[in-house]
Structure 1
Amino acid sequence: MNPAFGSNDVQVINKGNDGGTVYQKVNINHSVNIATFNIYSGAHSSNAIFGYGHGIIAYHMPYKKICVVSKVNRETFPTLNQPEDMINNQRDLNFLHQSHGISCNYVRNLAVLGVPIQATREGLSTYWATECD
């Protein structure tokens, strides 16, 4: 990964909960402060976008036809460089395993999400979530 080019891609292969293979592609783009995690696992493929500029996380689940967004807790959430370092050093990305409670309320003001997240949630019902303690 070379941050001088602004965007870095890494492929990670893991075992899924059912023992099958799950392919993940991580893209970290320093020039626009976005990290994207694409998870390819057949019918349950999904992606997460960390929009550091707007402080928003979006989890896009096309198989459920929803998108869930949450504000980043900047005190506990890793910086843009931490996932890149963990991948380069083949360490577990456990910081991604955070619990969130999903509200029943739709996101009404999509402008607060930022353009990259707005683009990925197009056509999906989008809900707010909050981090659980």
Structure 2
Amino acid sequence: MCLDFSGILGVALLGVFLAPITATDNISERNQGNVGGNSHQSVNIDKQKQVVNVDNNNGWHSWNSIFDYRSGYAATRILSKKSCVVIPLSKIPLPDVTTLPQVIREKQKDPSKGPERKEVTYVVSPEKITDLSPYGKNIEALCRGIPTYLAKEAHARGSVFAIGGCFQADILCIVNLNLCAWI
């Protein structure tokens, strides 16, 4: 059996040169200032697929979010609620997928640098989403098998929400999403 090492070498070199183009960014953050203890967030950014995956590990208050720039939607799976919430991505003030890694690293070095943290409040509809396919394969995979709801931006977080609970997802000190129950 003969091996063609020139072909193997060519494929290896091609991989080395293509890696920076298709690379993903993995960013980790440990937050000791949260109420109730420590949390750990990890962010995976796939620039080629234009998908950002955020995992927040904080015991029973853990959650996962997918920001799918191609489909135009984001979703958050709330482990304690055993549910998923889909949000139109255009309403979330996140930086572009290509500049997001740099913004996150700036915030890690100096929280006063970079864009000011935005807070956005959403009202979660009581109607379950029965077909996840319009929201893209990534969101479909995240929310498959659990109750999933659509959220719409609320223009004020006034006394209407004081009766019902809001779930907060802080995305690396860039965006604070408030997902509030329908009242």
Q: TM-score, normalised by structure 1?
A: 0.86
State the secondary structure of the residue aligned to 2:138.
helix
State the secondary structure of the residue aligned to 1:98.
strand
Paired residue type of 2:131 = N
**Count of residues in Structure 1 that have an aligned counterpart in Structure 2:** 131
Deviation larger for 3-12 or 38-47: 3-12
For the Cα contact (< 8 Å) 1:33–1:52, is it kept in 2? yes
Task: Please give the alpha-carbon distance, in whole angstroms, between the structure 2 residues aligned to 1:5 and 1:52.
Answer: 16
Task: Please give the alpha-carbon distance, in whole angstroms, between the structure 2 residues aligned to 1:74 and 1:123.
Answer: 26
For the Cα contact (< 8 Å) 1:8–1:27, is it kept in 2? yes
Q: TM-score, normalised by structure 2?
A: 0.64
Task: Please give the alpha-carbon distance, in whole angstroms, between the structure 1 residues aligned to 2:35 and 2:138.
Answer: 31
State the secondary structure of the residue aligned to 1:17.
coil
State the secondary structure of the residue aligned to 1:49.
strand
Equivalent in 142, 154, 179 of residue 132 of structure 1: 154
Displacement of 1:87 after TM fit? Answer: 1.3
Displacement of 1:86 after TM fit? Answer: 1.5
User: Who is 1:110 aligned against?
Assistant: 132
Equivalent in 14, 20, 34 of residue 17 of structure 1: 34
Please say if 1:94 is aligned against 2:153: no
User: Aligned residues: percent identity?
Assistant: 27
Task: Please give the alpha-carbon distance, in whole angstroms, between the structure 2 residues aligned to 1:76 and 1:44.
Answer: 23
Displacement of 1:3 after TM fit? Answer: 5.5
For the Cα contact (< 8 Å) 1:35–1:50, is it kept in 2? yes
Task: Please give the alpha-carbon distance, in whole angstroms, between the structure 1 residues aligned to 2:94 and 2:30.
Answer: 24
RMSD: 2.2
Equivalent in 144, 151, 154 of residue 122 of structure 1: 144
The one-character-per-residue Cα deviations of 1:19-60 (angstroms, maximum 9, x if unpaired) are: 511100011001111001100001111111101000001010
Deviation larger for 80-89 or 40-49: 80-89
Inter-CA distance 16–115: structure 2 relative to 1 (3 Å threshold): farther
The gaps in structure 1 that reach 5 residues or longer are none
The gaps in structure 2 that reach 5 residues or longer are 1-18, 156-183
